[in-house]
Structure 1
Amino acid sequence: MSLQILPQLACGLMIGAFVGVLLPRDLLIRWVGAESGLAGLAIASLGGAFMPGGPFAAFPVIHALYRAGAGAGAVVAFLVAWSCVGVNRLFIWEIPFLGTQFGLLRLCSTLPLPLLAGLAANALVRSFPALDMPGKDGA
């Protein structure tokens, strides 16, 4: 591991720890838990779409959400929204380099992906319970 990424990794781990502490567990489960349905997937998708930073920031947050009780579909929706939709990337990279028309095309074409991935994850977990995320609740 390069020493250059250690500060980024440390910051990401702190962000993940803060998420786990600052978000009340019952609120998180109500909003993005396994029983939160399409609304939970939409909330997770919005969170992921507006999550700034690279993998050193995003994955500790995703891990904290998962450990705190977010449903499998919501975790998948958050991850897909962060990686595919990435609204901050639209303004920082795509529009300046590729133009507004392409940026909006990319954004519009990726908007349904987090919801579809979250629905697919929920269906897979219902059909194959062994696929549900191990390690929740510190187990």
Structure 2
Amino acid sequence: MDRTLLWIAAVTGLGYALAWSKAPSDALDAARSSVAMLGQSLPWIVVSMFLAGLVSQWLQPEMVARWLGREAGLFGMVLGALIGMLGTGSRFAVYPLAVSLLAADASPGAVVAFTTSWQLTSLARLPAEFPFFGMPFALVRFAISFVISVAGGVLFEWLWRILSHFR
């Protein structure tokens, strides 16, 4: 089992124990809320894992490496950010897909650009911003978010290469 998961589980258990000692009803309410969130999220998690498994079988590592791999350089990060813009799914779908891209030889920087762009930009959400912020504001925010996604991928790739020498 993953050590990080064990630590988070221990801290969570300690938090519930402390909450129970102070106000048992609060701890019960928190547990009920957690179970409700799990019930709401579990179907998404299960379907997303199966989808990610299917996509990982469809991804051809040679193609992913060519378009999103280290050899693709800046182009791969821009392409990763463009693909992220199209994403409208939940994190339960996007993160397994990102892991599948890594497993198929996408560069870490392209995957960071993909996930960052998915979080910051969305072509599907953009029209919803227009009535609230106005078109110029929304388009400038969108463009800056896209540039940040690519820059984040470039910075991550650079740092990842440096840190990989120490592992």
Q: CA RMSD in A?
A: 2.0
The change in CA–CA distance for 1:119 and 1:10 in structure 2 (over 3 A counts) is same
Correspondence 1:9 to 2:36: no
The change in CA–CA distance for 1:7 and 1:97 in structure 2 (over 3 A counts) is farther
Aligned twin of 1:78:
114
Distance in 2 (alpha carbons) for counterparts of 1:110 and 1:21: 31
Query: Where in structure 2 are the equivalents of 1:11-90 lying within 5 Å?
Result: 11-90=47-126
What are the superposed Cα offsets for residues 74-105 of structure 1, whole Å, 9 maximum, x if unpaired?
A: 111111111111222213x4235444343223
Aligned residues: 131
Q: Which secondary structure does the structure 1 equivalent of 2:106 belong to?
A: coil
The change in CA–CA distance for 1:18 and 1:75 in structure 2 (over 3 A counts) is same
- What is the percent sequence identity of the aligned residues? 31
The change in CA–CA distance for 1:120 and 1:99 in structure 2 (over 3 A counts) is same
User: Which of the residues 110, 122, 138 maps onto 2:145?
Assistant: 110
Distance in 1 (alpha carbons) for counterparts of 2:136 and 2:81: 23
The change in CA–CA distance for 1:60 and 1:131 in structure 2 (over 3 A counts) is farther
Structure with higher RCO (Cα < 8 A, 6+ apart): 1
Instruction: Point out 4+ residue stretches in structure 1 off by more than 6 angstroms.
Output: none
TM-score normalised per structure 1: 0.83
Structure 1: unaligned runs, 5 residues or longer? 133-139
Give the helix-richer structure, 1 or 2: 2
Q: Which secondary structure does the structure 2 equivalent of 1:2 belong to?
A: helix
Distance in 1 (alpha carbons) for counterparts of 2:104 and 2:133: 38
Which of 100-109 and 112-121 deviates more?
100-109
What are the superposed Cα offsets for residues 28-53 of structure 1, whole Å, 9 maximum, x if unpaired?
A: 11111122101111111111111121
Is the Cα contact below 8 Å between 1:31 and 1:40 reproduced in 2?
yes
Distance in 2 (alpha carbons) for counterparts of 1:82 and 1:131: 30
